[in-house]
Chain A
Amino acid sequence: MKAKIKVTLKNGVLDPQGKAIEGALGSLGFSGIDHVRQGKYFEIDLKSTDKAKAKAQLDDICKKLLANTVIENYEIELA
């Protein structure tokens, strides 16, 4: 099974990298861009074939390492 995990900053958490990208897009002449937020993306290959178990394990993985839940949210997609 393959998991795709997105980790993003929570709303209200300052994202200076997103801001810098936003500025650079402006410099390149892209118009109509309101906000840019930068996040992280992980692909994990799992041996498990049990979707529920995999989901529970990935949830644990996100909480314990991939995301800092003080400042970040995470989304797990299993395929």
Chain B
Amino acid sequence: MKSAVILFPGINRERDMARALEAVTGHKPAIVWHTETTLPKVDLVAVPGGFSYGDYLRCGAIAARSPIMADIRAKAARGLKVLGVCNGFQIITEAGLLPGALLRNSGLKFVCREVKLKVENTRTFFTNRMKQGDVVRCPVAHGEGNYICDAETLKALEDNGRVVFRYAEGTNPNGAMSDIAGIVNEAGNVIGMMPHPENMIEPLHGNTDCRPLFESLLAA
């Protein structure tokens, strides 16, 4: 499992993501600067969290139009696995790889705390080591994670098990519709989520609940 972590100006979670990927896969991910036009040969692209371009215009909007995104889009269409976390979720959604949009948190505040995540779909490359309905602890840190989409898209997501993660036990931090914390595209190779599983995989994180998510990559 070879991976790449994409780096945009203003991203700040790339080391956490690279460390998590290396810890579990044994391979150091390639760090790819956003002005590159071609990805190295990898099985997974991770778009990490942060504040790309200072959240100018809309969160992720400018990064989503970076040169490297054209190659990510083209290769994702041919099955390349893509994982977007936090700002990465916003970026790949702005890039059209996932449906819907992420709005300002309904409480208007930046929320940095731990939530409970229910795993709703265990047939994805990032959840195959989990059991249906498993609830894991996971941190969130965002101001704009309020997932929204139209009724038709929501039905398609729900009917096809494309809601991969849902905030559980009343921990929805942002007002996201149907407690949606993470979704997968129709083909199953692009996942976006607001919480930060890369920050809950080592004993020093206080908990290793999210390590099996990364271990799922080994089987995928």
Residues of chain A at the chain B interface (Cβ within 8 Å): 13-14, 16-17, 19-20, 64-66, 68, 70-71
User: B94 — which chain A residues lie within 8 A by C-beta?
Assistant: 68
Q: List 28 A-B contacts (CB under 8 A).
A: A13-B103, A13-B148, A14-B103, A14-B146, A14-B148, A14-B175, A16-B104, A16-B105, A16-B106, A16-B107, A16-B108, A16-B146, A17-B108, A19-B108, A20-B108, A65-B57, A65-B61, A65-B65, A68-B58, A68-B61, A68-B94, A68-B101, A70-B100, A70-B148, A70-B149, A70-B150, A71-B103, A71-B148
Q: Which residues in A have their C-beta under 8 angstroms from that of B65?
A: 64-65
- Rounded to whole Å, the gap between the CB of A58 and the closest CB of chain B is 16
B148-173 vs A, Cβ < 8 Å mask (1 yes, 0 no): 11100000000000000000000000
Q: DSSP class of B's interface residues: helix, strand, loop or mixed?
A: loop
B153's closest neighbor in chain A, by CB? A70
Please name all residues of chain B whose beta carbon is closer than 8 Å to the beta carbon of A16 when the two chains form the complex.
103-108, 146
Query: Which residues of chain B are within 8 angstroms of A71 by Cβ–Cβ distance?
Result: 101, 103, 148
Please report the total number of B residues contacting A with Cβ < 8 Å: 19
Query: Measured between alpha carbons, how far is A13 from B146 in the docked complex, in Å?
Result: 11
Residue of B nearest to A23 (CB): B108
A5 → B minimal CB distance (Å): 12
